[in-house]
Structure 1
Amino acid sequence: MEWNGFFCRKKSSVEDYVREHLCLNAPVIAGLKPAAIFTVSYEEKKMLESLFSRYNDFRIETLHSGKKESIFLYRKSVFFRHLQNRNLRRFLSSLDLGYKEDKTGNYLFLFKERFRKYKDCGATFPHEVGIFLGYPPEDIRIYMEDPYRKAKLTGYWKVYSNEEAALHLFRAYDSCIQKFLQLLEDGFSLRSIVESYGLRKDKAA
């Protein structure tokens, strides 16, 4: 099926919007992408939290609340494994923003604070978000130095360095989204789709 046909459909309920959020962020749910940031209504956030609540690996963090909620969706196993990459930690440390190479457990807290100051106080946009979303450090660095520089490729982010690797990942993300769309078209419920990727909480969790 064509993406535009799905995403351009008129949405009349909270579930319609949640279906769209799940599809667009399918690479995170499937473990291909470390995290995603998107904006939802309070009701949409509650429905997403309900869908993911049975699975210990999924997390939704509220970054900012207002008329809309900015949320951070990730899988713990994927996200924290991603942060073990030494090159990523060195890059974050080099920004002199408080990210310490040996304290990855504080990264999300620090980012949430910087995002809040950006939204509420007009502080500089926290470009390090790209690291958490899976962008290559070199592409982030080049964009921060010269945001008007022509990119080799534009897709899920602006690509300045390894075009081939980025294109391969873009295609994997596209394929994952297409699979989610097809599952919905085939009549699978949102909960059953999440369940197929989720790790159930044990009774002690």
Structure 2
Amino acid sequence: MEKSFESVLIEQCAPTLAGMKPANMFIFKSCGRRAVYAKADCWSCRLEPYGIAVCILKECGGSFLVYVYRKAWLDRIIKSPMISSFLTGLGYDTVSSGIALTQLSDRLCLKKEFPHEIGIFLGYPFFDVLSFIENNGRNYVFCGYWKAYFNPSAARKRTDQYKKCAGIYKRMFESGTPIMRLVVAA
């Protein structure tokens, strides 16, 4: 049975909806392209007063990579000096999150190699993202929501918090709590 857009949104993006994480993403499979874009646009409009946006980063063969993010938080991340310098070195324009996300979407769609800098757009620690790239995803000290190369206890704690949040949000949604009552304002 195909899951609804809303149930996948809750399962995969609870930490962002709760204000614990700047962004999450998920793959949504559907045979209706127009319907998926309409859902993403609808949720982006509904969540906008809370500082949250929803966009499609990539589509391929009936699968859609949906990105849910807190715009102001992402803007702060990509404008921080180290991260801005790193992304600029990769060809990104870090003037705004909107421009950078368009470029990330282009890289996802046009590049043969996966843009691992996506970890920055998901709020993962900068040095873990750099180390992931430098080590080709190997030699990490902990693997949870991301591969951590430094401070495994902090990464484990954060992963546990995200999982707990996702579990609580899923139970509440399944028991009838509307998504809008689960969203925390920016």
Pair in the same fold by TM > 0.5 = yes
Letter in 1 for 2:90: L
- Counterpart residue number, 2:24: 36
| Greater mean alpha carbon deviation, residues 41-50 or residues 132-141 | 41-50
CA offsets 1:10-68 (integer angstroms, 9 cap, x no match): xx3553x5313322211111221112222212445533543443232222222222322
Shift of 1:90: 3.0
Q: Is residue 53–residue 71 contact of structure 2 (8 Å, CA) maintained in 1?
A: yes
Q: Is residue 55–residue 198 contact of structure 1 (8 Å, CA) maintained in 2?
A: no
Matched, 1:80 2:80: no
Shift of 1:129: 0.4
- Counterpart residue number, 1:124: 113
Could you say if the C-alpha distance between residues 37 and 52 of structure 1 is closer, same or farther in structure 2, counting changes exceeding 3 Å? same
For structure 1, the 5+ residue unaligned runs are 1-11, 200-205
Name the count of aligned residue pairs: 177
Taking the aligned partners of 1:194 and 1:174, their CA distance within structure 2 comes to 20
Taking the aligned partners of 1:59 and 1:152, their CA distance within structure 2 comes to 32
- Counterpart residue number, 2:90: 97
Q: Is residue 27–residue 173 contact of structure 1 (8 Å, CA) maintained in 2?
A: yes
| Greater mean alpha carbon deviation, residues 63-72 or residues 172-181 | 63-72
Taking the aligned partners of 1:128 and 1:150, their CA distance within structure 2 comes to 18
Does the residue aligned with 2:46 lie in a helix, a strand or coil? Answer: coil
58, 78, 82: which is aligned to 2:52?
58
- Counterpart residue number, 1:114: 107
CA offsets 1:66-125 (integer angstroms, 9 cap, x no match): 3222222112233223334333223323xx221356x2443222212111213xxxx221
Q: Is residue 52–residue 194 contact of structure 1 (8 Å, CA) maintained in 2?
A: no
Structure 1 vs Structure 2 CA RMSD: 2.4
Could you say if the C-alpha distance between residues 44 and 22 of structure 1 is closer, same or farther in structure 2, counting changes exceeding 3 Å? farther
Q: Is residue 58–residue 75 contact of structure 1 (8 Å, CA) maintained in 2?
A: yes
Matched, 1:27 2:15: yes
Letter in 2 for 1:99: Y
Rg: which structure is higher? 1
Letter in 1 for 2:92: Y
- Counterpart residue number, 1:7: none
- Counterpart residue number, 1:174: 163
Matched, 1:163 2:152: yes
CA offsets 1:167-200 (integer angstroms, 9 cap, x no match): 2211221121122022124332xxx22344165x
Shift of 1:161: 1.1
31, 45, 64: which is aligned to 1:69?
64
For structure 2, the 5+ residue unaligned runs are none
Overall identity of the aligned pairs, in %: 28
